[in-house]
Each structure stands twice: as C-alpha cells, then as structure tokens.
Amino acid sequence: MTLAEAKAVARKAAFARRKTAHAADRGNSSSALSGILAGYRGVPLAGFLPIRTEIDPRPAMAEAAAYGPVAVPVIMGPGRPLEFSLWEPGIALRQGPFGAMVPESDRFIEPEILIVPLVAFTRQGGRLGYGGGFYDRTLQLLRSRRATLAIGFAYGAQETDALPLEPTDQPLDLVVTEQGVLDPLTF
C-alpha cells in the first residue's frame, strides 16, 4: 500500500469516528480549549470556522477575541500557505474555498498560535488533515520566523495509535479535545 493509499484509509476511518462524536456533541466541547487560551491572552491567534462535522472552537475564539486579535484561515490558492484574516463574533462572512466561511473584508495578521482542525491525531503530535498540505506549509513558514504554537482541536474519538506521516507533516505541540488537554511533549 502506498503512503497516499494509507492516508486515504486512515482518513475514511477517522471521518467515521468524527461523525459519531459530532452527533453526540452537546455544544460545550470547547471549554478545555478556553482554559488553554486563557494562558495566552492578547497573543495573536488563529482559530477556524468549522465545516461539516468538525468540532466547534468558536466559543473559545469569542472569549479570546475579548483580549486580543483572533483570525481565521483564508486559502489563497493551491500550494500556497494560508493567510489569516481578523475575525470577531458577529462579523460579516463570505463563502471561501471548500465550504469554509471567511471574513467578508480581509484584514490579515500573522498569528503566533494556531488552533488546527484535523481528521485524525496521535498522542505524539501527529496530525492527519484533509490532504491539501495547507497547515503543513503554513506552520513550516511561521515556525521559520518565530516560535509558533500549533494546538490540534478535535474530538477524542479522532485519536489513533499511528498515522502514515511524511517528513513534511508538521507536528502539533498539543491536542485539545472535548475531554481535556493531551500534551504530546509528555508522552
């Protein structure tokens, strides 16, 4: 099996687990994420506006926005890193690529913390995304400029023991789920 085939198999299984977890979500899944972000008040951060069955970070993002800049990713094109446009609760949005909503008027910032969506993760900080490489390119670029904290945010059901990863896959610094915080550096 090729690496691409192995990733496709892992994605399919993870999407099924995520769908089940999403159906059971009671809307309070971001409390642990809020707790982590409280320690970084005022630090520029980027979250994401959930699509399909992704866990919802917006309550934690709204809380963080009261203390400092919060942005969301904007896809600028294939093979390019993400840009991050300022977001706040109630801001006017427009349709972006792949069904993600983005601010109607872009005001870009460079975050120091990224809340990263994912399909599957390992406790060692491995992340499987959708396959476009957007977060990998972006994290590589940001980390080449300064320390950048990558927080994976997902349902606990998206955890797996191992993932087919490539050298270009950027690791997560920690993972937050609806059940709490998993710090890959301690495992």
pLDDT, one tens digit per residue, over 120-169 is: 999 999 999 998 899 999 999 999 999 999 999 999 999 999 999 999 99
Residue 63 has pLDDT above 90, yes or no: yes
Average pLDDT of the segment spanning 43-51: 97
pLDDT at 185 over 60: no
Verdict on whether the full-model pTM lies above 0.85: yes
DSSP count for the chain of H helices, then E strands: 4, 12
Token duo for residue 27:
């809307």
Bridge partners, 128 (sequence order): 120
Between these two residues, 182 and 115, which has the higher pLDDT value?
115
pLDDT bin (cut points 50, 70, 90) of residue 28 is confident
Residue 75 has pLDDT above 90, yes or no: yes
- Average pLDDT on 72-90 reads 96
Phi/psi at 101 (nearest 5 deg)? -85, 145
- pLDDT at res. 50: 95
**pLDDT at residue 184 above 70?**
no
What percent of the chain shows pLDDT beyond 70? 97
Q: How many Cα neighbours within 13 Å face the side chain of 101?
A: 15
pLDDT at 34 over 90: yes
Separation of alpha carbons 61 and 76, rounded Å: 22
Domain architecture of the chain: domains with CATH: 1-55+64-82+118-131+148-179 (3.40.50.10420)
**What is the pLDDT confidence band of residue 187, given thresholds at 50, 70 and 90?**
very low
